[in-house]
């Protein structure tokens, strides 16, 4: 059993805190957001993540997990402190490190004994050294400490599963002894552990996210070509995925990537490259292709309806991916904003993302479920591939709509079945005729 403090109780911090407590450690999770900590102390989760509430409750009851706002209290007995604060996008695309700086200063002022500071936030290469400098200069009296980079690879929506079954643990430090102590903490997870230097560990995180984003933009480029040539990108991706050199993951063509990580991390990596005089052409193309997806979906709806003026558009899904309530950089929100700007009426339904989306864009009218959403809509745009959308009663949806038009930004439906039910349906890259248009695609002249 180790004494661990976790700074930041967002998606990463809360999962890290609950996960290490579940492994039998004593964990103090700290946040500067008083309301969040008060809620957590009442058993209210600030985020939706499958299994999180139960895991938190179990470990709070066993007195292995507590939530506080005081740094001195959190660090009193801690041997390890994880930094898991946000690193949002700055004005020029760089990562904004103000929360990391503030956490490092608070740690420096509150620490009373030797400490291993572990950085889990995604931070630009070189930040580990910068954090070490801040702590040294802000300490009131010198107390030994080490900084270890331990980038986080969990996926929202399966964060606890990923915590307990990581693909790997990457650790970077100039202090091998500290890195090995952090490795010991991770041993029960039985994943490969790689120890390298600080900057390389930081770079592994950016390179991994940029590569996954690149796969998504790659398959979207292929989808565009499939549409022109009459091939089906879903089948193309399956056929490619059997090749062990390629693998099946992150080859889903559609509306592109979003969320709190890929957009900002690809941008931040491109920014780091540009700052050093490099021209990150591939990363730029990845970002451009991704933004284009949103335009493409709107154009597709417009083509099917003739014009969007005076129409009501329904968004099936608001979160950037299923099984989360996170709407940060969600393509659906961007689409909704663009439609609202054009004066088009927007309705939406999402199993978990509606309250956050309503705060971000009050103009969206929320529906209680997908059938309620369909009522009076001229077109539905599928923006998130929640499982429940895959199993809707399509006849009921068709009958509720003013026009049976579906633009499927996640390719969750079968074009042949949709045509059979009587929808004017378009997915993305799905083997249309040689002219790139499906037979029943246009309502113009209906
Ligand atoms: N969300 C993900 O899926 C994911 C995955 C891998 C890595 N990451 C990275 O992990 C980091 C955290 O991401 P997140 O999604 O958990 O962020 P988040 O915004 O959900 O949570 C950050 C938390 O830190 C708190 N905080 C800010 N400043 C603080 C301070 N000085 N002291 C204490 N608490 C403070 C905030 O109040 C907030 O609760 C980011 O760098 C992100 O890029 C995120």
Q: Where are the alpha helices (DSSP H) in 230-309?
A: 233-241, 262-275, 281-305
Atom of ligand 1 nearest to the CA of 265: 43
Which helix (DSSP H) or strand (DSSP E) does residue 52 occupy?
Answer: helix 52-61
3-state helix, strand, coil in the chain (%, to 5): 45, 15, 40
Instruction: Calculate how far, in angstroms, residue 261's C-alpha sits from the geometric centre of ligand 1.
Output: 11
How high is the pLDDT of residue 193? Answer: 98
Q: What backbone torsions phi and psi does residue 227 show, to the nearest 5 degrees?
A: -60, -40
Q: What backbone torsions phi and psi does residue 124 show, to the nearest 5 degrees?
A: -55, 150
Does 444 score more than 80 pLDDT? no
Residue-level length of the chain: 446
Residues 441 and 406: their CA atoms lie apart, in Å, by: 10
Which residue in 140, 145, 137, 136 sits closest to 117, CA to CA?
145
Which residue in 86, 79, 60, 64 sits closest to 7, CA to CA?
86
Structure tokens at 139: 């300490």
Torsion from C-alpha of 425, 431, 435, 441, nearest 10 degrees: -10
Average pLDDT for the chain = 95
pTM of the model: 0.94
Structure tokens at 181: 């102590």
Which residue in 258, 259, 266 sits closest to 287, CA to CA?
266
Q: Is 61 exposed, middle or buried (0-12, 13-18, 19+ CB in 10 A)?
A: exposed
How high is the pLDDT of residue 446? Answer: 40
13-31 residue pLDDT tens: 999 999 999 999 999 999 9
Q: pLDDT-based confidence at 282, cuts 50/70/90?
A: very high
Pocket test for ligand 1, best of 5, 7, 10, 109 (most atoms within 8 A of CB): 10
How high is the pLDDT of residue 76? Answer: 97
Count of Cβ atoms closer than 10 Å to residue 14 Cβ: 27
Q: What backbone torsions phi and psi does residue 317 show, to the nearest 5 degrees?
A: 100, 135
367-422 residue pLDDT tens: 999 999 999 899 999 999 999 999 999 999 999 999 999 999 999 999 999 999 99
Structure tokens at 361: 């864009």
Structure tokens at 382: 């599928």
Give percent above pLDDT 70 in the chain: 97
Provide DSSP, 7-41: E--SHHHHHHHHHHHHTT-EEEEE-S-HHHHHHHH
Pocket test for ligand 1, best of 152, 264, 325, 329 (most atoms within 8 A of CB): 152
Pick left, alpha or beta for residue 192 (phi over 0 → left; psi -120 to 50 → alpha; otherwise beta). beta
Question: What is the biggest distance separating any 2 CA atoms in the chain, rounded to whole angstroms?
Answer: 79
Residues 331 and 337: their CA atoms lie apart, in Å, by: 10
Contact between 153 and 165 (Cβ < 8 Å): no
Pocket test for ligand 1, best of 72, 84, 328 (most atoms within 8 A of CB): 84
Q: Can you name the residues that pair with 5 across neighbouring β-strands?
A: 28, 81
What is the DSSP code (8-state) at residue 96? Answer: P
Instruction: Calculate how far, in angstroms, residue 12's C-alpha sits from the geometric centre of ligand 1.
Output: 6
- Answer yes or no: is the C-beta of 317 below 6 A from any ligand 1 atom: no
Contact between 179 and 173 (Cβ < 8 Å): yes
- Answer yes or no: is the C-beta of 33 below 6 A from any ligand 1 atom: yes
Give percent above pLDDT 90 in the chain: 96
Instruction: Calculate how far, in angstroms, residue 13's C-alpha sits from the geometric centre of ligand 1.
Output: 7
- Answer yes or no: is the C-beta of 87 below 6 A from any ligand 1 atom: yes
Instruction: Calculate how far, in angstroms, residue 213's C-alpha sits from the geometric centre of ligand 1.
Output: 20
Residues 422 and 311: their CA atoms lie apart, in Å, by: 20
- Mean pLDDT, to the nearest integer, of 146-166? 96
- Answer yes or no: is the C-beta of 85 below 6 A from any ligand 1 atom: yes
Residues 108 and 238: their CA atoms lie apart, in Å, by: 51
Q: pLDDT-based confidence at 437, cuts 50/70/90?
A: low
Through-space distance between the first and last CA atoms of the chain, rounded to whole angstroms: 70
For ligand 1, atom 10, name the residue with the nearest CA.
121
How high is the pLDDT of residue 86? Answer: 96
195-251 residue pLDDT tens: 999 999 999 999 999 999 999 999 999 999 999 999 999 999 999 999 999 999 999
Residues 185 and 25: their CA atoms lie apart, in Å, by: 9
Does 431 score more than 90 pLDDT? no
Instruction: Calculate how far, in angstroms, residue 279's C-alpha sits from the geometric centre of ligand 1.
Output: 29
Instruction: Calculate how far, in angstroms, residue 316's C-alpha sits from the geometric centre of ligand 1.
Output: 28
**Which residues form the catalytic set?**
261
Instruction: Calculate how far, in angstroms, residue 177's C-alpha sits from the geometric centre of ligand 1.
Output: 27
Does 433 score more than 80 pLDDT? no
- Answer yes or no: is the C-beta of 227 below 6 A from any ligand 1 atom: no
- Answer yes or no: is the C-beta of 82 below 6 A from any ligand 1 atom: no
Atom of ligand 1 nearest to the CA of 326: 1
Pocket test for ligand 1, best of 9, 17, 28, 31 (most atoms within 8 A of CB): 31
Q: Is 168 exposed, middle or buried (0-12, 13-18, 19+ CB in 10 A)?
A: middle
Residues 413 and 389: their CA atoms lie apart, in Å, by: 9
Does 256 score more than 50 pLDDT? yes
Structure tokens at 180: 């090995």
Q: pLDDT-based confidence at 432, cuts 50/70/90?
A: low
Does 128 score more than 80 pLDDT? yes
- Answer yes or no: is the C-beta of 99 below 6 A from any ligand 1 atom: yes
């Amino acid at each position: 059993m180790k004494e661990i403090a976790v700074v930041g109780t967002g998606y990463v911090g809360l999962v890290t805190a609950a996960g290490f407590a579940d492994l039998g450690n004593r964990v103090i999770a700290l946040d500067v957001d008083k309301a969040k900590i008060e809620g957590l102390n009442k058993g209210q989760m600030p985020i939706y993540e499958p299994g999180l509430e139960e895991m938190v409750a179990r470990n709070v009851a066993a007195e292995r997990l507590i939530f506080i706002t005081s740094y001195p209290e959190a660090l009193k007995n801690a041997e390890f402190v994880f930094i898991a604060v946000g690193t949002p996008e700055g004005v020029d695309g760089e990562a904004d490190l103000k929360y990391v700086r503030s956490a490092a200063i608070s740690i420096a002022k509150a620490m009373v004994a030797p400490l291993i500071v572990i950085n889990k936030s995604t931070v630009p290469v070189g930040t580990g050294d910068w954090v070490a400098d801040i702590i040294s200069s802000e300490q009131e009296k010198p107390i030994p400490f080490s900084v270890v980079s331990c980038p986080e690879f969990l996926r929202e929506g399966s964060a606890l599963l990923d915590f307990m079954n990581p693909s790997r643990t990457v650790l970077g430090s100039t202090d091998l002894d500290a890195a090995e102590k952090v490795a010991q903490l991770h041993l029960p997870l039985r994943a490969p552990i790689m120890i390298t230097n600080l900057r390389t560990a930081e770079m592994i995180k950016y390179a991994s996210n940029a590569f996954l984003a690149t796969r998504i933009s790659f398959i979207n480029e292929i989808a565009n070509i499939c549409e022109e040539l009459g091939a089906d990108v879903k089948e193309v991706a399956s056929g490619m995925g059997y090749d062990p050199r390629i693998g099946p993951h992150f080859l889903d063509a559609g509306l592109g990537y979003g969320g709190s990580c890929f957009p900002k991390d690809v941008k931040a990596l491109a920014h780091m490259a540009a700052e050093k005089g490099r021209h990150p052409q591939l990363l730029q193309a990845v970002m451009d292709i991704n933004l284009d997806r949103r335009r493409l979906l709107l154009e597709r709806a417009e083509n099917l309806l003739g014009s969007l003026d005076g129409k009501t558009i329904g968004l099936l899904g608001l979160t950037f991916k299923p099984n989360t309530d996170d709407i940060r950089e969600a393509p659906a929100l961007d689409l909704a904003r663009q439609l609202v700007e054009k004066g088009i009426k927007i309705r939406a339904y999402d199993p978990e993302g509606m309250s956050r989306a309503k705060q971000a864009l009050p103009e969206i009218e929320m529906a209680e479920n997908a059938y309620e959403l369909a009522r009076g809509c001229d077109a539905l745009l599928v923006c998130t591939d929640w499982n429940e959308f895959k199993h809707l009663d399509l006849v009921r949806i068709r009958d509720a709509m003013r026009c049976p038009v579906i633009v499927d930004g996640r390719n969750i439906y079968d074009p042949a079945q949709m045509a059979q039910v009587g929808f004017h349906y378009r997915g993305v890259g799905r083997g249309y005729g040689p002219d790139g248009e499906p037979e029943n695609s246009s309502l113009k002249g209906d």
